[in-house]
Structure 1
Amino acid sequence: MTDTAVDPRHLARWRNAIIAGFAMGGVTVSAWGPRLPTISSELHIGAATIGILLAFITIGSIVGLFLSTPLLHWLGGRRGVLSALVTIAAAMALMALGVALRSLPVMVIGFIIIGMATGVLDVFINVEGSAVERRAGRTLMPLMHAAWSIGAAIGSGIGAACAALGISPAEQFAGEAVLIAVVGLAFAPSIPLGSREEPAPATPDHSRADAFRQWLRGWSDWRLLLIGVVMLGVELGEGSANNWLTLSVKQDHGQTAAVAALFFTAFAIGEATTRIFGGPLVDRVGRVTTIRITTALGVVGLVLFILGGSPWIVLIGVLLWAVGVSMGFPLGMSAAAQGPNPAARVSVVASIGYFSSLAGPPIIGFLANSAGLLNAFWLLAALMLAAFLCAGALGTARR
């Protein structure tokens, strides 16, 4: 079903529903981070087991990306987004039960399900967000992805506040399960019925099997793969900041743990701010030029961070690093969604992004063991440069 005419009020409600979906995705992925020390203590598990436990989230997310194409054809946008959010809420409740029972197997199941549902939600809201952009006639995806960043900050804040107030992880997860379910039920009815398909070239039978074949063919589409290179560079840069920036500021640049945490806060603010205000820049100069500007600044930022001696130079490097990773994912999703079977196309590039978030930080850790953490960051600079060189793939698809 193709997009139908939407009046401005319905379009605004549709946009707000997708923004709410992005925000709930951010709340979801940041829910457990601040509570890992307590979870480790209550389940009597060490850092290695926690690492394996968290890996199940990304594995589940990749599975969810593969499932998203047939699910979107089957459910459509409205029911798909609602089903994903309700499934996330149910998985969060299962995680609450796992912590309460001190059961590692229940936690594993909860993490796998929440990863799958988040992967599906990621594709659905990006496809819907791209459709809203087309109907609005202006760039909105960076703003929507900023909602994910803001949701992540809110989720992290909820976890930190619950830890400070002595609220158990089980109680926190149960409360967040209710929040996510309520938001889904409140906003999903504003999403138009049907899937956001652009008309495909005429075929005798545009069936689900044909859609699956289109998804497989996506992996041989050079344009999608080049968009994937952009995703690889920016997602590895973002994931490495999430995992290693604070430690590097403390160990390599000689700052206290509190100051190092402030540097990461500056990174998060820089990324969210660029996404919020980046839309007009895209409308003015286009996706390709925007990605070239931001990734070039990201390369400069990483060089300043690696070589900088003064804390102020390092801070400038952090902010430029944040700018560099801010726009690649939303604009890559928007570019990939152009054309027939957008869910399949989004799934291809999102899979590359998720793979980089799974494999990238351990690779940085491996390089850091032999060459030092700052030297390992040269890989990020090289991949950011590759994203700059491949930015042309984000231009309007030729028909």
Structure 2
Amino acid sequence: MTLADVSPSVSRWRNAVFVIFAATGIAYSSWVTRTPDIRASLGVTTSVMGWIIFGLSAGAIAGLLLAGRLVGRHGARRMIAVGGTLTGTGIMVTGVGAVAPSPALVFAGLAITGGGFGLGEVGLNVEGAALERVLDRSVVPTLHGAFSVGTLVGAALGTAAAWAAVPVLVHLGVLGAAAIAACGYGISRLPDATGKEPVVHGRPAADAGPRQVVWRETRTLLIGFIVLGMAFAEGAASDWLPLAIVDGYGADPATASLSYGVFVAFMTASRLLGGRLVDRFGRVVVLRVAATLAFAGTSLVIVAGAQAPAMIGCALWGAGAALGFPLGISAAGDTQNHAAMRVSAVAILGYTAFLVGPPLLGCLGEHIGLLRSFYVVLLGVAAAAALSSAVAPGSRGEVAAARCRLRAGRRNR
């Protein structure tokens, strides 16, 4: 089934989720380019700035922990609305804190941004999994590709704003307002009931204890470990790849930046093409190939001995690491019952590995070198390949029910 074969409302649904994913990527990356200006404005050291930025991670983890239950109770659409509003508001608060100047206010703004990101990401991934059930084809990798495109656009906009000396408050204020507006555009086109759990004894099932059940499901845990390993590979490259190229190969800063650009470019392309590959070859085969590429690319970066083959390794690493997270989310959301809780559980493991794993890798790299520390990444992607059969599709028998919920949501609005 192609998108042209389904109703215009489903097309609007998919496009809306795509737009919100891209807007989230823009919002998430643009402010990062202003961190030198924010640090200078606050007059703090790099170590203090690191603790301030930790507010983003803390907020994101808190949002992820709450998201499964809230999506199950209120539906993905409402949580996306709340998440988008918090994200935009947090970015604006960050801008105010930068010019105040107030480190505490910047920390608070980033924590609000992270909380909104955590809530919204689970809702968006639940929407993506529901779309896959309706269309009976892979969608989530492309949606994550939209996020990757958004990060590239956001980085470009932030770099241009910094180069043009646009005040941080103006840049982040406009960015925050645009994020809220994009979210408002998108949620008006989303069905109302996606992700809502059935009522059990007068209470939503999300409040009746499924969290413990989900965390005891073997398949969900295996998917979570797959995502953990692949997200760790992505996070390790995002945080340490340029420095590793400098330390390991004596590269200049421009070449080091290029290495990360190659990684991101191939990661984005892999996600945009990933849906078609999954539809043709299946999740398990694509995941095994992706993990193999990530393993080969990381190994080549470690042992290449020269900058040129190391760049090839960066490309393979990015192409492979790109698909672990979206394929895991797709598998976690295969069935409607407790889908939000499963997606939340998998996302918690993935984002924890992405956010917390790389700093631990840095501590290891302090003792043995960054390139050698990447051997830990190999363990994660090897485990993902070994467990790949866990992402085999589950039940697809709820397509008609999902379409009924979509029609009901339109009538309710």
User: TM over 0.5, yes or no?
Assistant: yes
Q: Deviations over 1:212-252 (max 9, x none)?
A: 51112222222111111111111111111111111111221
Distance (whole Å) between structure 1 residues aligned to residue 130 and residue 256 of structure 2: 40
TM-score (normalizing by structure 1):
0.94
Partners of 2:69 and 2:206 within 8 A in 1? no
Q: What is the aligned-residue RMSD (CA, Å)?
A: 1.8
Partners of 1:129 and 1:141 within 8 A in 2? yes
Which stretches in structure 2 are left out of the alignment for 5+ residues?
398-413
Shift of 1:338: 2.1
Distance (whole Å) between structure 1 residues aligned to residue 63 and residue 168 of structure 2: 25
Correspondent of 2:373 among 359, 373, 376: 376
Partners of 2:71 and 2:196 within 8 A in 1? no
Which residue matches 1:264? 260
Q: Give SS of 1:194's match.
A: coil
Alignment of 1:113-124 (within 5 A): 113-124=112-123
| Aligned AA (2:67) | S
Counting matched residue pairs gives 391
Correspondent of 1:275 among 266, 271, 277: 271
Cα–Cα, structure 1 residues 314 and 212, in superposed 2: closer, same or farther, change >3 Å?
Answer: farther
Correspondent of 1:230 among 218, 226, 229: 226
Partners of 1:70 and 1:212 within 8 A in 2? no
Q: Deviations over 1:327-350 (max 9, x none)?
A: 011110111112311111111011
| Aligned AA (1:343) | A
| Aligned AA (1:126) | N
Q: Which moved more, 1:79-88 or 1:110-119?
A: 79-88
Distance (whole Å) between structure 2 residues aligned to residue 116 and residue 248 of structure 1: 31
| Aligned AA (2:9) | H
Partners of 1:294 and 1:327 within 8 A in 2? yes
Distance (whole Å) between structure 2 residues aligned to residue 210 and residue 248 of structure 1: 44
Alignment of 1:158-173 (within 5 A): 158-173=157-172
Distance (whole Å) between structure 2 residues aligned to residue 215 and residue 332 of structure 1: 18
Distance (whole Å) between structure 2 residues aligned to residue 209 and residue 13 of structure 1: 29
Which residue matches 1:287? 283
Distance (whole Å) between structure 2 residues aligned to residue 295 and residue 90 of structure 1: 37
Distance (whole Å) between structure 1 residues aligned to residue 355 and residue 143 of structure 2: 23
Q: Give SS of 1:238's match.
A: helix
Which residue matches 2:42? 43
Distance (whole Å) between structure 2 residues aligned to residue 131 and residue 319 of structure 1: 31
Query: Are 2:214 and 1:215 aligned?
Result: no
Distance (whole Å) between structure 2 residues aligned to residue 103 and residue 204 of structure 1: 47
Cα–Cα, structure 1 residues 73 and 159, in superposed 2: closer, same or farther, change >3 Å?
Answer: same
Distance (whole Å) between structure 1 residues aligned to residue 284 and residue 196 of structure 2: 24
Partners of 1:95 and 1:111 within 8 A in 2? yes
Cα–Cα, structure 1 residues 375 and 187, in superposed 2: closer, same or farther, change >3 Å?
Answer: same
| Aligned AA (1:307) | V
Query: Are 2:298 and 1:296 aligned?
Result: no
Cα–Cα, structure 1 residues 7 and 193, in superposed 2: closer, same or farther, change >3 Å?
Answer: farther
Which residue matches 1:356? 353
Distance (whole Å) between structure 1 residues aligned to residue 350 and residue 123 of structure 2: 16
* Percentage of pairs with the same residue: 31
Q: Give SS of 1:31's match.
A: helix
Q: Deviations over 1:278-334 (max 9, x none)?
A: 111101111111100110111111111100023221111111111221101111011
Which residue matches 2:137? 138
Shift of 1:157: 1.2
Which residue matches 2:364? 367
Shift of 1:64: 0.6
Distance (whole Å) between structure 2 residues aligned to residue 142 and residue 95 of structure 1: 31
Q: Deviations over 1:113-161 (max 9, x none)?
A: 1111100000000000111111122111111000000111111111111
Cα–Cα, structure 1 residues 88 and 212, in superposed 2: closer, same or farther, change >3 Å?
Answer: farther
Alignment of 1:41-120 (within 5 A): 41-120=40-119
Distance (whole Å) between structure 1 residues aligned to residue 15 and residue 208 of structure 2: 30
Distance (whole Å) between structure 2 residues aligned to residue 65 and residue 33 of structure 1: 21
Partners of 1:300 and 1:320 within 8 A in 2? yes
Q: Deviations over 1:74-97 (max 9, x none)?
A: 432333222221221111111121
Which residue matches 2:175? 176
Correspondent of 1:338 among 334, 347, 350: 334
Distance (whole Å) between structure 1 residues aligned to residue 144 and residue 389 of structure 2: 21
TM-score (normalizing by structure 2):
0.91
Shift of 1:69: 2.4
Partners of 2:200 and 2:208 within 8 A in 1? no
Shift of 1:371: 0.8
Which residue matches 1:248? 244
